[in-house]
Amino acid sequence: MWEKIKDFASTFFVTGDPLIYGADVSIVLTMAAIVFVLTKYKKWGWLWREWLTTVDHKKIGIMYLIASLLMLFRGGVDALLMRLQLAFPNVEFLHSEHYNAIFTTHGTIMILFMAMPMMFALFNIVVPLQIGARDVAYPFLNAVSFWMFLFGAMLFNLSFVIGGSPDSGWLAYPPLSELSHSPGVGQNFYIWGIQISGIGSLATGINFLVTILKMRAPGMKLMKMPLFTWSVLSSCITIIFAFPILTVTLALLYIDRFLGAHFFTMDGGGNPMMYVNLIWMWGHPEVYIVVLPAFGIFSEIVATFAKKTIFGYKSMVFAMISISVLSFFTWVHHFFTMGAGADVNAFFAITTMAIAIPTGAKVFNWLFTMYRGRVSFEQPMLWTIAFIPCFLVGGATGVMLAVAPADYQYHNSYFLIAHFHQVLIGGVVFGYLAGIYYWWPKMFGFKLDERLGKWGFWLWNIGFYVCFMPQYALGFMGMTRRLYTYGWDMGWAPLNLISTVGAFLMGAGFVFQVWQILYSIKHGERDTTGDPWNGRTLEWSIPSPAPLYNFAVVPEVKGADDWWLTKQERANGTAKAEKAQLEPIHMPKNSGIPFVMSACWFVAGFGFVFGWVWMAVVGMIGVALTMWARSFEYDTDYYIPVDEVRRTEASFGRGISCNKS
Amino acid sequence: MQQVMTHHGDSHDHGHDHGHEDHENLKVLGFWIFLVTDCILFGTLFATYVVLMHNVAGGPTAKELFEMPGVIAETFILLTSSFTSGLATLAMHKGNTKQLIGWLVVTALLGLGFIGLEINEFVHLVAEGATISTSAFLSAFYTLVGTHGLHVSVGLFWMLALMIQLARRGITPVTRRKVTNLSLYWHFLDVVWIFLLTVVYLLGVM
Ligand code: HEM
Ligand SMILES: [Cu+2]
């Protein structure tokens, strides 16, 4: 009996590595600390009522933000571990399997559990406010999406200490990811972590598409919509077409592993190449899903900080829509070297390069907007400006990779690693950071400290070039990706050391940002106006942080940059003061079901990972029961009475000034 | 009532009942988009099936396995159930709750019959040694047909919940929207089945 338990424990818990013992200890300590604090300050009820059951899009956005920053930390630690390993030749810090596990979890976490939720954080916080809506189309579903993401991410992260991490790359190509080559549970963690959070992402795509199509304030025609909202719209359309493909692909891989099917196996008539096609039919659109909103963010920031209308609004919209369509016709460029034939390669080389055209148009529009504007260089603008050269270089190297014959040289080399980090960090991460700085006052009611922020900014930027420029050269020198060590004779040592130094500079930048947040909570400049940057769009017309119902009175929109127009009219004294009445505001009620349902998904996912059918069945029954319970819930909304709205507005110093007009 | 500065002309737009109706319409739109994603899901499964359908790896082929009489019966039953779900919607528009529930019961029974036949087919195939791990062709077959069957089963579960709600509450804007979505879903599954019949069974035995 005792022997059996010991046997089970040693396969269940990952052992034998100091890093993992460290992680075990820190998980236990963090859990204990959380439980202790919540109990000591009697905060359990508060946590449940205010956060775990909330359907308020602003709070859901904040939870997405916190989760994504934690994931950025985890993914960043993985990155630093890899760079430490590669700093010198013949380092024996991580052995090869561990290195494989780390680059796999790093890539997966960064794209699916850091970039996606950070993007959803901004969707949630900004979109309803920008379109003058009081909520998203389906607030309950929105909460489901968040909790599915969170429980999926937790499942994935557990693999580090329980059962073992996946180690066949962030796209899990077979046969590496098949049972024959990855017999452990790591690959199952990958499948179910992504599957559960992926269903949540798909729901978010539907939710925001309908929100944008149907919930805009009266008068806001599509072509009067702020560009960030446009970018969300195009990103959501891409999600809706791409994510079902991912769902199927992961399901098929799991069926192969669990039921012994032959979709992608080497034997039984399976076709591994089909997996590669499927995963990239999702994977390539995915990178545009995450970068399009960044384009939207830059457009808002450039217009605000140059105090000018964005140059070429229509071409910006057109560019985003064409990028989201084109992104589905480029996937083969990820395997030019796998023998598809010259014609196929040529087609996909051309579609890939075609994407550079709308992207280039956008860059010129941003530059024209800044040209002769009175540009002020606060943090959001700094990150935007840093993005432009970074993305230009990334785009240029991307076009180099798109040249099919040349790709035979660069394929799977460090050149590629440098390229995609350049677009992912320079485009996506810089973009979202810019967005976070920009909308931070709207979320929390204070600005983030400039001085600490500049430290963070310069460390990130210098660190970025120090880290990734040498990698282009290393690629030409023949260093391939996913290599865990190399010899002195290769001559790669100096450049690798420089690269590692750069990575640590970025890590230091992140530390400064955390410090900046903590410092600003106490000392940051409070935003009493609701409009700290002299903004142009509707979210700046309401107090910061926005009240529960967002808009006491739904605005009537006259044009693009509506808030800017209103401010000008007020300044000229041409503003028309029409009279309207406050009315009771219709709001959704909080619900515990999304949390419980996602927890059931987690249980089911865990069962599927270990092949414990009983547990999977219990979890799925839980999912079904919670859905059933929701279907029987009719009392799902309430009205905020006029008096309460008036009181809230008055507490912001609003209602009164409004009434005087 | 207080006056607030606004540019709002018609405050009746946001009247309470109106707000509710709008929300129900919104949910129908969302459901349409959900069906689009489901189309892509099935499209991907169909594509895999087409790629793998000749990879029998020495195992039995479609021609040897499929028995058309059962499949034709399934088709007939499912098409009829689509028709009866249409009758349910008609009853709803007439405001006749009893009739509505009655037709839903008929639809559900037909759906159940369909699932029964499908399970029967699968059991027979497995008994003949044609399992999901026999060949890539069979992996794709079970997954594609099974996913459709799973959708039908979820629909049955949902239908049951809805019948109870209709019995309790009668026809309200909320139950009306739910019935609308359910019948959309049911017709959609019917269309998918027609593709299944053509691509899997008819192409298979030809
Ligand atoms: C913050 C600084 C970062 C550093 C220092 C860094 C470093 C690295 C390193 C050393 C590798 C392994 C290369 C190899 O040997 O194959 C890697 C792979 C990867 N990184 Fe990063 N990374 C960073 C940020 C990011 C971000 C922000 C993203 C995405 C949003 C990202 C996505 C990926 C992906 C997808 C892979 C490929 C994993 C695989 O091969 O399966 N990284 N990174
Ligand atoms: Cu691509």
Tell me the pLDDT tens digit for each residue of A510-546. 999 999 999 999 999 999 889 999 999 999 999 989 9
| CA-closest candidate to residue B144, choices B69, B198, B78, B83 | B198
- Separation between Cα atoms, residue B76 and residue B140, nearest integer Å: 24
Mean pLDDT for A286-299 is 96
Look at residue B19 in the predicted model and tell me its pLDDT: 52
- To test the contact with chain B by mutation, choose from A262, A566, A632, A639 the residue with the greatest count of B C-beta atoms within 10 A, namely A262
Look at residue A189 in the predicted model and tell me its pLDDT: 97
- Separation between Cα atoms, residue B24 and residue B47, nearest integer Å: 35
Q: Whose CA is nearest to atom 8 of ligand 1?
A: A79
Whole-number percent of chain A with pLDDT over 90: 81
Look at residue B77 in the predicted model and tell me its pLDDT: 97
| CA-closest candidate to residue A259, choices B144, B61, B134 | B134
A residues 545-574 lying closer than 8 A (beta carbon) to B: 552-556, 558
Instruction: Return the residue matching tokens 């606060």.
Output: A378
> What is the number of residues in chain A?
661
Tell me the pLDDT tens digit for each residue of A464-489. 999 999 999 999 999 999 999 999 99
DSSP-derived 3-state class of residue A526: strand
Q: Show the 3-state SS of A322-378.
A: HHHHHHHHCHHHHHHHHCCCHHHHHHHHHHHHHHHHHHHHHHHHHHHHHCCCCCCCC
Q: Can you say whether the dihedral through the CA atoms of A402, A403, A405, A410 is positive or negative?
A: negative
What are the Cα distances from residue B195, in Å, to A569, B45, B125, B183? 59, 12, 21, 19
Q: Whose CA is nearest to atom 9 of ligand 1?
A: A79
The token pair at A294 is 């960044």
Report the 10 Å Cβ neighbour count for A258: 15
How much distance in Å is there from the Cα of A400 to the middle of ligand 2?
13
- Shortest alpha-carbon distance between residue B40 and chain A (Å): 6
DSSP code for A265: -
Task: Read off the amino acid at residue B171.
Answer: I
Topology of domain B62-205, per CATH?
Answer: Four Helix Bundle (Hemerythrin (Met), subunit A) (1.20.120)
Phi, psi of A174 (to 5 degrees): -75, 160
Which ligand number lies closest to the CA of residue A327? 2
DSSP code for A480: B
- Separation between Cα atoms, residue B112 and residue B81, nearest integer Å: 10
Number of domains in chain A: 1
Domain boundaries, chain B: 62-205
**DSSP string of A300-327, one letter each residue:** HHHHHHHTSPPTTHHHHHHHHHHHHHHG
Give A256's contacts in chain B (Cβ within 8 Å): 139
- Separation between Cα atoms, residue A364 and residue A398, nearest integer Å: 18
Any domain includes A587: yes
Which ligand number lies closest to the CA of residue A279? 2
How much distance in Å is there from the Cα of B37 to the middle of ligand 1?
30
Higher pLDDT, A19 or A501: A501
CA A489 vs. chain centroid, Å, equals 40
- Separation between Cα atoms, residue A390 and residue A398, nearest integer Å: 12
- Separation between Cα atoms, residue A129 and residue A537, nearest integer Å: 9
Closest residue in B to A260 (Cα–Cα): B133
DSSP-derived 3-state class of residue A648: helix
Average pLDDT score over chain A: 93
Examine the pLDDT at A284 and tell me if it is beyond 60: yes
List the alpha helices (DSSP H) in A88-176: 96-108, 116-130, 139-158
Look at residue A628 in the predicted model and tell me its pLDDT: 95
CB contact under 8 A, A274 and B51: yes
Any domain includes A556: yes
Which ligand number lies closest to the CA of residue A281? 2
| CA-closest candidate to residue A228, choices A434, A378, A517, A23 | A434
Q: Is A620 on the interface with B (CB under 8 A)?
A: no
- Separation between Cα atoms, residue B124 and residue B128, nearest integer Å: 6
CB contact under 8 A, A581 and B2: yes
DSSP-derived 3-state class of residue A405: helix
Dihedral of CA atoms A480, A486, A488, A492 in degrees, nearest 10, equals: 30
Closest residue in A to B132 (Cα–Cα): A261
Examine the pLDDT at A188 and tell me if it is beyond 80: yes
Q: What residues sit around ligand 2, an ion, with C-beta below 5 angstroms?
A: A 284
Report the 10 Å Cβ neighbour count for A528: 13
Tell me the pLDDT tens digit for each residue of A13-68. 888 788 888 888 988 998 999 999 999 999 999 999 999 999 999 999 999 999 99
CB contact under 8 A, A639 and B16: yes
Look at residue B6 in the predicted model and tell me its pLDDT: 37
The segments of chain B whose pLDDT lies below 70 read: 1-21
Higher pLDDT, A282 or A655: A282
Look at residue A1 in the predicted model and tell me its pLDDT: 80
CB contact under 8 A, A634 and B169: yes
Tell me the pLDDT tens digit for each residue of A375-399. 899 999 999 999 999 999 998 999 8
Q: Which residues pair with A411 in a beta bridge?
A: none
Dihedral of CA atoms B201, B202, B204, B206 in degrees, nearest 10, equals: 150
Which ligand number lies closest to the CA of residue A486? 1
Contacts of A221 (CB under 8 A, 6+ apart): none
Of the residues A81, A106, A500, which should be mutated to test ligand 1's pocket, given the most ligand atoms within 8 Å of the CB?
A106
How much distance in Å is there from the Cα of A171 to the middle of ligand 2?
13
Any domain includes A658: no
Instruction: Return the residue matching tokens 């579903």.
Output: A141
Phi, psi of A465 (to 5 degrees): -70, -35
- Shortest alpha-carbon distance between residue A137 and chain B (Å): 7
CA A576 vs. chain centroid, Å, equals 41
How much distance in Å is there from the Cα of A107 to the middle of ligand 1?
6
- Shortest alpha-carbon distance between residue A40 and chain B (Å): 42
DSSP code for A640: E
Of the residues A69, A103, A413, A429, which should be mutated to test ligand 1's pocket, given the most ligand atoms within 8 Å of the CB?
A103
- Separation between Cα atoms, residue B184 and residue B186, nearest integer Å: 5
How many Cβ pairs closer than 8 A exist between chain A and B? Answer: 167
Which ligand number lies closest to the CA of residue A288? 2
Mean pLDDT for A625-654 is 90
The token pair at B2 is 């207080």
Contacts of A182 (CB under 8 A, 6+ apart): A166, A167, A168, A176
| Residues B67 and B118 sit within 8 Å (Cβ to Cβ) | no
- Separation between Cα atoms, residue A417 and residue A481, nearest integer Å: 7
Look at residue B20 in the predicted model and tell me its pLDDT: 55
- Which among B30, B38, B135 has the least Cβ separation from residue A262? B135
pLDDT grade, residue A613 (50/70/90)?
A: very high
CB contact under 8 A, B143 and A261: yes
Q: Show the 3-state SS of chain B.
A: CCEEEECCCCHHHHCHHHHHHHHHHHHHHHHHHHHHHHHHHHHHHHHHHHHHCCCCCCCCCHHHHCCHHHHHHHHHHHHHHHHHHHHHHHHHHHCCHHHHHHHHHHHHHHHHHHHHHHHHHHHHHHHCCCCCCCCHHHHHHHHHHHHHHHHHHHHHHHHHHHHHHHHHHCCCHHHHHHHHHHHHHHHHHHHHHHHHHHHHHHHHHC
List the alpha helices (DSSP H) in A371-412: 379-402, 404-410
A365: Cα within 13 Å, side-chain hemisphere: 26
List the alpha helices (DSSP H) in A1-56: 2-12, 18-40, 44-46
Among the listed ranges A57-66, A219-228, A401-410, A454-463, which one has the minimum average pLDDT value?
A: A401-410
Q: Distance between terminal CA atoms of chain A?
A: 81
Q: Is A542 on the interface with B (CB under 8 A)?
A: no
A63: Cα within 13 Å, side-chain hemisphere: 23
Any domain includes A19: no
| Residues A133 and B26 sit within 8 Å (Cβ to Cβ) | no
CA A324 vs. chain centroid, Å, equals 17
Give A270's contacts in chain B (Cβ within 8 Å): 52, 55, 136, 139
Q: Is A268 on the interface with B (CB under 8 A)?
A: yes
| Residues A198 and A243 sit within 8 Å (Cβ to Cβ) | yes
- Separation between Cα atoms, residue B130 and residue B51, nearest integer Å: 19
Contacts of A9 (CB under 8 A, 6+ apart): none
CB contact under 8 A, B162 and A631: yes
Tell me the pLDDT tens digit for each residue of A556-607. 998 889 999 999 988 888 877 665 678 899 999 999 999 999 999 999 999 9
Give B52's contacts in chain A (Cβ within 8 Å): 263, 269-271, 274
Q: Is A218 on the interface with B (CB under 8 A)?
A: yes
Give B178's contacts in chain A (Cβ within 8 Å): 631
Look at residue A651 in the predicted model and tell me its pLDDT: 85
Domain of A558 in residue numbering reads as 42-591+636-652
DSSP code for A557: P
- Separation between Cα atoms, residue A531 and residue A554, nearest integer Å: 18
- Separation between Cα atoms, residue B87 and residue B91, nearest integer Å: 6
Ligand 1 atom closest to A72 (CA): 27
- Shortest alpha-carbon distance between residue A114 and chain B (Å): 24
Look at residue A309 in the predicted model and tell me its pLDDT: 92
Mean pLDDT for A312-338 is 93
Q: Which residues pair with A640 in a beta bridge?
A: A585
> What is the number of residues in chain B?
206
- To test the contact with chain A by mutation, choose from B1, B8, B11, B176 the residue with the greatest count of A C-beta atoms within 10 A, namely B8
Of the residues A110, A177, A420, which should be mutated to test ligand 1's pocket, given the most ligand atoms within 8 Å of the CB?
A110
- Separation between Cα atoms, residue B196 and residue B206, nearest integer Å: 14
Look at residue A578 in the predicted model and tell me its pLDDT: 61
Give B158's contacts in chain A (Cβ within 8 Å): 631
| CA-closest candidate to residue B181, choices B193, B192, B189 | B189
Tell me which residues have their CB closer than 6 angstroms to ligand 1. A 76, 79, 82-83, 103-104, 106-107, 110-111, 115, 169-170, 417, 421, 424-425, 428-429, 467, 481-483, 503, 506
CB contact under 8 A, A206 and B1: no
| CA-closest candidate to residue A143, choices A619, A640, A625, A588 | A588
DSSP-derived 3-state class of residue A579: strand
Report the 10 Å Cβ neighbour count for A366: 24
Report the 10 Å Cβ neighbour count for A332: 22
- CATH code for the domain of A336: 1.20.210.10
Phi, psi of A446 (to 5 degrees): -145, 160
How much distance in Å is there from the Cα of A336 to the middle of ligand 2?
11
Task: Please give the angle made by the CA atoms of A113, A114 and A116, to the nearest 5 degrees.
Answer: 75
